[in-house]
Amino acid sequence: DVKVTQSSRYLVKRTGEKVFLECVQDMDHENMFWYRQDPGLGLRLIYFSYDVKMKEKGDIPEGYSVSREKKERFSLILESASTNQTSMYLCASSNPPGQGNEKLFFGSGTQLSVL
């Protein structure tokens, strides 16, 4: 069964800490994404990547960075966590548009609380 695996289901961090959220996919997808999901705001795109070592800013990249050293792994980094980054973080992967079957496959999410 195809999978997108996020390293932590729940995470509690303190303000100012550096936080790493890891995501691994086993479908050989080129595209990978990081979203955050907040009540009433829906899913908002933080960063995405088309290929290894490639990254593009999404709608809300401030306070975040990403790393994609291998095709299957996409990491989200909070350089200095703040309370307004408390949220559900969702990783997703897909094939590129135009190749068909371009639906997003999501991980189960990481609920991050910053205290």
Partner 1 sequence: EDQVTQSPEALRLQEGESSSLNCSYTVSGLRGLFWYRQDPGKGPEFLFTLYSAGEEKEKERLKATLTKKESFLHITAPKPEDSATYLCAARGGTASKLTFGTGTRLQVTL
60 binds partner 1 (CB under 8 A): no
**CB-neighbour burial class of residue 58 (10 A; exposed 0-12, middle 13-18, buried 19+):** middle
Residue 99 engages partner 1 in binding (rule: CB under 8 A): no
- Nearest residue to 77 via CA among 4, 17, 2, 3: 17
Closest distance to partner 1 from the beta carbon of 42 (Å): 4
Determine contact, residues 92/58, Cβ cutoff 8 Å: no
Nearer to partner 1, 14 or 99 (CB): 99
90 touches partner 1 by CB under 8 A: yes
Q: What gap in Å lies between CA 86 and CA 76, rounded to an integer? A: 14
Between residues 10 and 14, which has the closer beta carbon with respect to partner 1?
A: 10
Site for partner 1, rule CB under 8 A: 4, 31, 33, 35, 40-45, 48, 50, 56, 58, 90, 92, 94, 96-97, 102-109
